[in-house]
Structures are given as C-alpha cells and as structure tokens.
C-alpha cells in the first residue's frame, strides 16, 4: 500500500529506535491488511483527499484505547486526520489484553485501525455528529459516531475478502460478541427504535461510501446498510418492533436493579 497515494504518514513520535522503526513497520503492515480487503479499499479511497493529510501516531498513554478524528495543526489552513494507535496494547500481553475469552470481537489490530479510520472518514467528510440520540436498546454503542464505526467495522469483519478476523462486536463498551438475535439479518433494526433513522442519516451523509459498501458487499453475513438500501420500507417498519425491544430491555434493566417486574412493566408502559 502506497502511503503517499493515501496522503498518510506514520509518525512514531515519542518512540526511540528500534521501537520507532518497528512502529512504522507494524502500522504499515496493518494498513496493508485493511487495504487488501474490498471494504478496506472502499474506506481508504473514500477518505483520500489531497487537502486532508492523515497522521497515525502512537497513543499518548498506555491505557487501553485508540482514537480517530481530526485536528488543526498550528498554522495549517485545513484539518489533518489523526489516529492514535499503538498495536502492542491490543496484543495478548498489552494493556488491552483481557483474560475473558468473550471479549475479543473487533479487537484484532486491523479491526481497531479500521474502526479509527471510519472516525477519520466522518471527520474528512464533515459529517461528524455525536448529537443524535440513541434509543435504550442501542446504549451499548455510546453515541452516533461510535455506532457508525462499530457498524462499519462489523461489515469489515463480515467481508469475505477479509480472511483473518474476530467476530461481530456488540457495541462500543468492551469487545463482547454480538448476540445471535442482533447478528441475524435485520436484527439491527429490530434491536432498537432509533437504529433505522441513524442508518438512514448515515447513508444520507455519506452516500458514495455507504452505497459502495451496499453494492460490493451485498451478500455478506452482516450488512444492515445493504438491507437498508434494498428494503428501506421493511427496515422502517421493523423499527416499530425495535421500539418494543427498547421497552422490553428497559423492563429487564429495572428488574436487574431490584424493581419487581410488574411495577417495572407499569413504569415503562406508561412512559411516552
């Protein structure tokens, strides 16, 4: 993968040799894994802009995290896309290592990188928007931008040209696996009321990218974007079931904190 073509720099800031060279080598390798896939090339080509350079640099702290977005460099007229990403922290002995075998969905190096690249893409296209409200059954996504990044990375995981992968990720809180119910076809739209509207808005914000994901990956295991483009009316209708799912999940959450089920049900059913 030609980094210059994608206006991308790997900056090993803060590292000393030989860690510097290793960092550049490793990140370039993980970018190549992304670039080898259909969905990865769709994403990288959608981000690529002559006036929007991208910098990938180590995450500034050893905490388990990676960040994607944009920043304005001093004196620069335009924004720079930024990813802070340290592959080692996501290794089995790094700070993101977890003993729990269930906590590994979406956690491979290239999957982390793809997720952050989706954030950069949203920043590059001026569509970054954390404001839209998630409904109760989607609260595991934290906010709209994380929902979009997790959704796209799950399509990347489903992409058949992506040969080494973990599994579908349930949300943005941890790396737990998606439930079979949510993973089945149209499962996203029946999981919560707001899902339909958020997917619709994402497709309106970024039509070229989302149509490419829909057309080129139409028959993969998990692609709610393709389902939205093919069956918009059905997806909208299913969001009514999503509303009922929200209520059922809300009742379960109240029961979990000790409220008797009939009382919890009454609260939720009386809510607007």
The site for Zn ion (CB under 5 A) is made up of: 146, 149
The CB-of-236 to Zn ion minimum distance in angstroms stands at: 27
In the block, residue with structure tokens 């790997």: 10
Nearer to Zn ion, 146 or 246 (CB): 146
Element (H, E) at 240: helix 232-256
Nearer to Zn ion, 10 or 149 (CB): 149
The CB-of-218 to Zn ion minimum distance in angstroms stands at: 26
Nearer to Zn ion, 188 or 235 (CB): 188
Instruction: Return the HEC string of 190-214.
Output: HHCCHHHHHHHHHHHHCHHHHHHHH
**E-strand spans in the chain?**
8-10, 54-57, 67-71, 80-84
The CB-of-159 to Zn ion minimum distance in angstroms stands at: 19
Give the closest residue to 244 by CA, choosing from 271, 215, 219: 271
Q: Is there a contact between 59 and 85 (Cβ–Cβ < 8 Å)?
A: yes
Q: Which residues contact 16 (CB under 8 A, 6 or more apart)?
A: none
Closest CB to Zn ion: residue number: 149
Nearer to Zn ion, 69 or 232 (CB): 69
The CB-of-149 to Zn ion minimum distance in angstroms stands at: 5
The CB-of-66 to Zn ion minimum distance in angstroms stands at: 8
Helices (H), 66-139: 109-124
Nearer to Zn ion, 12 or 171 (CB): 171
The CB-of-228 to Zn ion minimum distance in angstroms stands at: 21
181: left (phi over 0), alpha (psi -120 to 50) or beta: alpha
Phi, psi of 67 (to 5 degrees): -135, 145
Q: How far is 136 from 120, CA to CA, in rounded Å? A: 27
Nearer to Zn ion, 149 or 250 (CB): 149
The CB-of-115 to Zn ion minimum distance in angstroms stands at: 5
Nearer to Zn ion, 149 or 155 (CB): 149
Q: State both tokens at 20.
A: 């510097």
């Amino acid at each position: 993968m030609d980094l210059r073509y994608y206006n991308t720099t790997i900056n090993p800031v803060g590292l000393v040799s030989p860690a510097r060279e290793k960092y550049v080598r490793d990140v370039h390798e993980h970018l190549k894994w992304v670039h080898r896939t259909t969905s990865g090339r769709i994403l990288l080509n959608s981000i690529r802009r002559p006036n929007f350079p991208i910098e990938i640099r180590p995450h500034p702290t050893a905490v388990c995290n990676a960040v994607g977005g944009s920043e304005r460099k001093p004196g620069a007229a335009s924004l720079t896309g930024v990813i802070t990403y340290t592959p080692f922290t996501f290794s089995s002995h790094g700070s993101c290592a977890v003993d729990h075998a269930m906590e590994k969905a979406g956690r491979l190096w290239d999957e982390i990188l793809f997720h952050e690249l989706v954030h950069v893409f949203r920043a590059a296209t001026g569509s970054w928007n954390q404001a839209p409200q998630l409904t109760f059954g989607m609260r595991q996504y934290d906010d709209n931008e994380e929902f979009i990044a997790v959704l796209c990375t799950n399509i990347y995981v489903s992409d058949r040209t992506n040969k080494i992968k973990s599994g579908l990720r349930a949300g943005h809180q941890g790396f737990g696996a998606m439930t079979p119910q949510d993973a089945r076809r149209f499962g996203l739209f029946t999981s919560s009321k707001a899902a339909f509207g958020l997917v619709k808005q994402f497709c309106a914000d970024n039509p070229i990218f989302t149509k490419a994901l829909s057309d080129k990956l139409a028959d993969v295991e998990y692609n709610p974007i393709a389902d939205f483009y093919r069956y918009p009316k059905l997806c909208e209708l299913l969001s009514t079931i999503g509303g009922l799912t929200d209520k059922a999940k809300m009742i379960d959450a109240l029961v979990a904190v000790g409220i008797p089920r009939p009382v919890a049900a009454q609260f939720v059913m009386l809510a607007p």
